[in-house]
Amino acid sequence: MAGLGLIGGSIARALGERGWHVTGDDERVERREQALELGIVHELGLDPDAEITFVATPVLTLVDQVQRALKETHGLVTDVGSVKGAVTAAIDDPRFVGGHPMAGSELEGLSGADGNMFQGAVWVLTPTATTPDATLATVAAVVAEL
């Protein structure tokens, strides 16, 4: 998990509640420490062996953070940004598929992280012409679990 705000924290919490081992990173040190203290993540940093890495950072940082996740991990990578054009145009790696959950809260940060936030929500995935079917299917299965 890259980005531990409301959405990233909610994804991390949801995955952890479903038995996944969750690691997480955030540019804010206090947020990383809070996520660890609250048990939202099991370890800090990006796990190079993670099956999937979610990038939940501000839209203007998505391209850089997706590229970082692709460089530092071996599994699939997806994002949760509301704007897809820039990230899908900049990233042509077959391990990436863009996404955006149609969910949220009036709360902010980890204090609002809710493992049930995505139940019943639509989660839009934006594969490109070069996205392998297996990549799309795996990401779709993980988000459907949430």
pTM over 0.85: yes
Place of tokens 């919490």: 13
- In tens, the pLDDT along 22-79 reads 999 999 999 999 999 999 999 999 999 999 999 999 999 999 999 999 999 999 999 9
Work out the mean pLDDT of the chain and round it to a whole number.
96
